[in-house]
Amino acid sequence: MNGNEELKIIMVAPRGIGKTSILAAMHEEFHKTFERANLQTWVENGAVLAAIDECKNILRNIDPRVKKQVTPTQPKDNPWNDQGFTFEIGSSAKKFMKLRFTDPSGEYFSPTATSNQKEYIKQQLNDCDAILIPIDATALMQKKTGMVSYGEIGTWHEEKNNPQQITRLLKDAFSNVKSPRLIILAPVKCETYTQTSKDAENLLSHVKMGYSELLDFVKSDSLLNKVSIVVTPVQTIGNVVFAYHRTDNDGFTKFHYYKTPINAPYEPKDGDQPLRYIMLFLINVFLENKKRFLEQEQKNLINLETQLSVDNNKLNNAKRGYEEEKRILDKRNSMWWFFRTIANVFDDREAIYYQAKDNLDQNQNKVQKIQFNIKSTTENIQATQEQITAFNNALFRFTMGCKNNDGFAILQGHKWLEFPQSIF
């Protein structure tokens, strides 16, 4: 991650789980979260941002029985045209980092996805820095006769959340991971299962059970130090609870909810948590890379300054040589032309003079080039130190706001989710 490089976050879940809804809950906390971290943001308008605004509008005006549904993200004729939701982050009017959230249609994750859609998802997963996996908490926590007991998984978990398909996709994408990655498991529609601390810890336990194959996979030796795993439940509407399920003639089961109280407003809760952990992870990786870049630039500066000293000595010698040759040539040129012509036959001072001049020009060019490189390297060091300072301060504020109990947990990769010591 050098300069203002783009960092990518992808939403991964089947159709109808709530990818756009969790993006909407995150966006609701967006400006407040970054302002508290003393960071500025620049948001690019696009189709995903429009979908987020539409989603929030629906949820704000949803009926007491929560019958109106958010329109699922529709598949595109060409998935590669999906620009996602993009914003840039910086401080003091300087942009340091660009983030892109991609919210693919759930159709792309289905067995019936086209080869082009599958290739798109594969490429996105290969290129991404963070993966956000919304989980239908009701499907995970409910069975036909009521809420699951300890050791049980919800009746519709495999059907709705399709953890096996997601695990297969990640196994393929993570076959040759070189850089750190973050996976966030985010139970949504989880209001019913986070009423108390005990309820929330029970939800966390079932998330671990429901995604055990994925969690076992990322514990492998090749991924253990590269992949961070976080669980962050998000109440995407707030003030709603599960009521009942109903299965239609085609075998499709729909979950029904109701507001408590019936006039409760749209009030998502913990929408900032996935965003906080994403930023905590990305900034830690960013700072690690910037630390290496800074150390290398500081070494380059020392080498350049050493080389400048050597080349300045060469330049001074070249100047003295040039001045001496110019003095000799001027003396020769002051001679009467007949004697000068005879002298030049045996000792061509003009050729020697021009050799000295070329040598001086070459040494001046070398010094100017090194001086330019020193100026550029010094500016890089100063800019990098500014970035590190701004993001170190922001990192502390993101860390202070991250929840790590009552259903929230870091399951793996603490290295990339902690507040580092000063690197100066």
pLDDT (tens digit per residue) in 386-407:
888 887 877 777 777 888 899 9
Q: Which of 4-8, 218-222, 254-258, 324-328 has the highest mean pLDDT?
A: 218-222
> What is the share, in percent, of the chain residues with pLDDT greater than 90?
39
Give the confidence band of 133 by pLDDT, cuts at 50, 70, 90: very high
> Is pLDDT larger for residue 57 or for residue 158?
158
> Is pLDDT larger for residue 16 or for residue 273?
273
What's the mean pLDDT in 268-283?
87
CB atoms within 10 A of CB 38: 12
| 190: Cβ contacts below 8 Å, ≥ 6 apart | 137, 203, 233, 234, 235
pTM, two decimals, is 0.79
> Is pLDDT larger for residue 170 or for residue 287?
170
Q: Are 125 and 78 in contact (CB under 8 A)?
A: no
Compute the C-alpha angle 42/46/48, nearest 5°: 105
Token pair, residue 76, equals 């595109």
What's the mean pLDDT in 341-346?
74
Q: Are 99 and 1 in contact (CB under 8 A)?
A: no
